[in-house]
Amino acid sequence: MNRTPEPPMRARVTERAAPTSADVARLAGVSRATVSYVLNDTEAVRISEATRHRVRAAAEELGYVPHAAARSLRAGSTRMVLLPGAHIPLGPLYGRFLAELQWALRRLDYTVVQYGTIGMSGDEAARAWAELRPVAVLSFGEPGLTAHGVEILKRSGARAVVTLGPEPVEGARLLHADQAAIGRCALEHLVERGRRRIGVVVPQEPGLEVFSAPRLAGAREVADRSGVFIEPLPLAYEEEPASLAARRAREIGLDAVFAYNDEYAALLMRALCDEGVGVPGDIAVMGADDLLLGRLQRPRLSTVHLDLVTGEALASLVDTAVRDSSADLGSTTLMTAYAVRRAST
């Protein structure tokens, strides 16, 4: 029976520092080396079953937890994968992709670190990342990662620096996420349907330019090629701006809108309806990302479907690059896009 007075809980917990391998060694009556061998199941060395057991028991009793920083300091490398940014609320599609990616990286025994870089320049950010000595860095293109930044990272031990995005950065591998293709798809579809005056929604939410700019650029490319009128339509994700945009679309006589993605498309379609504009009669509306949301609209939303590579695939690609940094990732394409016609165009 424990009849001694309750020890002060917080003190017990706070004051007693974390046990080290030396503590375990002392309790088990062996050396720190032996502790390390046992706890890591080092093959190259034979430890008697009796000793192993004593060490394990001691570690258990003390609640020993190895110190990751000490280990990686000694090892000279980490298993850390840095995902910069990702602090903008991405759509469900990318949200899911990112979740999947993290999950897959964990499975491959990497530690995923999200490192936000507010108001840092590209090179400051790269420096900050490099302090953590990550073994791989995945940049989604937001902060201007320069060739210099990439070299800093590589010098600090990053065996893979991968940018997902449209523009390559010298020294980094590029996984091509061709956002422009989405804009091209959408516009090709609309032109094919006979539309000649087309608006392109540009979300005003900060952080989305990475996606919206190339989508617009792709759209413009096709428009220019086909001699079709195109007009950017800035739009914040709120009802009021949406009615304004809807009114504007009517005023300048658009006959179609590519609405960045299905969410903005749903918003705009609602506003158009409320303005008495017929969809697709007066104005066709096209989304992108092929979200469930789009299928829920009436009329059902035409969209650009994206076949994204799975997070698992990307994770294993990163893993390959880490294991052999000269490995050729090929011109891995992150996604393919194609138009899906439903009722809104």
Partner DNA sequence: TTGAAAGCGGTACCAT
Partner DNA sequence: ATGGTACCGCTTTCAA
**Nearest distance from C-beta of residue 143 to its own copies, angstroms:** 13
Judged by CB under 7 A, does residue 63 bind DNA? no
**Nearest distance from C-beta of residue 152 to its own copies, angstroms:** 6
**Nearest distance from C-beta of residue 100 to its own copies, angstroms:** 8
Judged by CB under 7 A, does residue 343 bind DNA? no
Choose from DNA, its own copies, none: what does 259 bind? Cβ within 5-8 Å by kind. Answer: none
What are the tokens at 61? 């009793």
Choose from its own copies, DNA, none: what does 48 bind? Cβ within 5-8 Å by kind. Answer: DNA
The span of 63-71, 175-183, 202-210, 254-262 binding DNA (CB under 7 A) equals 63-71
Half-sphere CA count of 3, side-chain side, radius 13 A? 1
**Nearest distance from C-beta of residue 16 to DNA, angstroms:** 12
Name the residue nearer to its own copies (CB basis): 25 or 272. 272
Name the residue nearer to DNA (CB basis): 63 or 276. 63
Pick the binder of DNA from 18, 99, 296, 343 (CB under 7 A): 18
Pick the binder of DNA from 16, 57, 73, 336 (CB under 7 A): 73
Name the residue nearer to DNA (CB basis): 6 or 43. 43
Judged by CB under 7 A, does residue 14 bind DNA? no
Choose from its own copies, DNA, none: what does 127 bind? Cβ within 5-8 Å by kind. Answer: its own copies
233: closest CA among 214, 218, 207, 212? 212
Name the residue nearer to DNA (CB basis): 110 or 264. 110
Name the residue nearer to its own copies (CB basis): 164 or 293. 293
Q: Three-class SS string for the chain? A: CCCCCCCCHHHHHHHCCCCCHHHHHHHHCCCHHHHHHHHHCCCCCCCCHHHHHHHHHHHHHHCCCCCHHHHHHHHCCCCEEEEECCCCCCCHHHHHHHHHHHHHHHHCCCEEEEECCCCCCHHHHHHHHHHCCCCEEEECCCCCCCHHHHHHHHHCCCCEEEEEECCCCCCCEEEECCHHHHHHHHHHHHHHCCCCEEEEEEECCCCCHHHHHHHHHHHHHHHHHHCCEEEEEEECCCHHHHHHHHHHHHHCCCCEEECCCHHHHHHHHHHHHHCCCCCCCCCEEECCCCCHHHHCCCCCCEEEEEEECCHHHHHHHHHHHHHCCCCCCCCCECEEEEEECCCCC
The span of 70-78, 204-212, 311-319, 328-336 binding DNA (CB under 7 A) equals 70-78
Choose from DNA, its own copies, none: what does 29 bind? Cβ within 5-8 Å by kind. Answer: DNA
**Nearest distance from C-beta of residue 154 to DNA, angstroms:** 15
- Which of positions 243-272 make contact with DNA (CB under 7 A)? none
**Nearest distance from C-beta of residue 129 to DNA, angstroms:** 14
